[in-house]
């Protein structure tokens, strides 16, 4: 173990899809609530509608959240506006841009979803997202499981990027390292049972954690950021040195 305890506060936590413990995921109400609770980092997921509008949505299909069949890209914006996720509309990415403009100290991790990349291609989704985020690009990091999409981000912009992987070991592979990503994301359960998990040259973030004790442990082993669905509770618990 490292010979010190990390001073854990809001700047070590990422509000994963907003504040899903209390609000529908990837919604403006949840994201705003996370920021009001003290979040310095948020993470959202982006897909394109059938007519090419960037929307905040995580799943490969609409069934779990909206009780509708099929993928988001099969529906145009007009149809998507009629659907509800936990009583909330599926928001457009441009609405997040407006929210971020009101909170210039907040950093947003914008995940480009593979299902949308596969359907529309890297250039369309990357160009669309970069254009919408133009007013707040200095607050944004583009993240994805897709290395080809991140290569396109590098080609078209100077934005920082993050590779997302299921397993910590994948983050050390040559194709990932060749991109020289500023951030790396992996499943917290995939971390090796060794003292120091830090990967030189990048900020390491892990998902998903609502256990303050576990968050404290991995932060002291070299993790830099922890994603959580319970941002408010985690901030309070970690600042008080208590577990949820």
Query: Which domain CATH number covers 127?
Result: 3.20.20.190
Number of domains composing the chain: 1
Does residue 83 carry a pLDDT above 60? Answer: yes
pLDDT for 8 beyond 90: no
- Mean pLDDT across 222-233: 97
24 found inside a domain: yes
pLDDT category, 236, cuts 50, 70, 90? very high
Give a yes or no: residue 43 inside a domain.
yes
Please state, for a pLDDT cut of 70, what percent of the chain lies above it. Answer: 95
Domain that holds residue 220: 10-58+93-240
* 5, part of any domain: no
44 inside domain:
yes
The answer to the question of residue 230 being in a domain is yes
**Residue 117 within a domain:** yes
Instruction: Examine residue 25 and state whether it is found in any structural domain, yes or no.
Output: yes
Which pLDDT score is estimated for 104?
98
Note the pLDDT of residue 244.
52
Answer whether 35's CB lies under 8 Å from 224's CB. Answer: no
CA 13 to chain centre: 11
Is 15 among the domain residues? yes
- With a CB cutoff of 8 Å and minimum separation 6, the contacts of 161 are 141, 142, 143, 144, 150, 153, 154, 179, 181, 182, 183
- Mean pLDDT taken over the chain: 95
Determine the pLDDT at residue 126: 99
Does the pLDDT value for residue 4 go beyond 50? no
């Amino acid at each position: 173990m490292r010979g010190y305890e990390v001073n854990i506060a809001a700047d070590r936590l990422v509000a994963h899809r907003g504040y899903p413990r209390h609000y529908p995921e990837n919604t403006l109400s949840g994201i705003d609530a996370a920021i009001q609770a003290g979040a310095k980092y948020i993470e959202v997921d982006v897909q394109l509608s059938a007519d090419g509008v960037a929307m905040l949505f995580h799943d490969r299909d609409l069934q779990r959240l909206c009780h509708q069949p099929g993928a988001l890209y099969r529906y145009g914006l007009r149809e998507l506006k009629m659907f509800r996720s936990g009583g909330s509309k599926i928001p457009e990415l441009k609405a997040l841009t407006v929210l971020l403009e009101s909170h210039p100290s907040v950093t947003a991790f914008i995940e480009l979803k593979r299902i949308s990349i596969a359907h529309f291609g890297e250039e369309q989704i990357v160009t669309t997202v970069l254009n919408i985020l133009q007013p707040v690009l200095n607050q944004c990091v583009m993240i994805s499981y897709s290395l080809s999409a991140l290569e396109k981000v590098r080609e078209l912009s100077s934005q920082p990027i993050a590779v997302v992987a299921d397993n910590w070991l994948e983050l050390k592979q040559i194709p990932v390292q060749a991109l020289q990503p500023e951030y790396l994301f992996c499943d917290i359960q995939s971390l090796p049972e060794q003292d120091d998990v830090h990967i030189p040259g990048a900020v390491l973030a892990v998902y998903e954690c609502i256990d303050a004790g576990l968050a404290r442990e991995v932060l002291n082993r070299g993790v830099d950021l922890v994603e959580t669905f319970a941002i408010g509770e985690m901030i309070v618990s970690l600042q008080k040195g208590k577990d949820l």
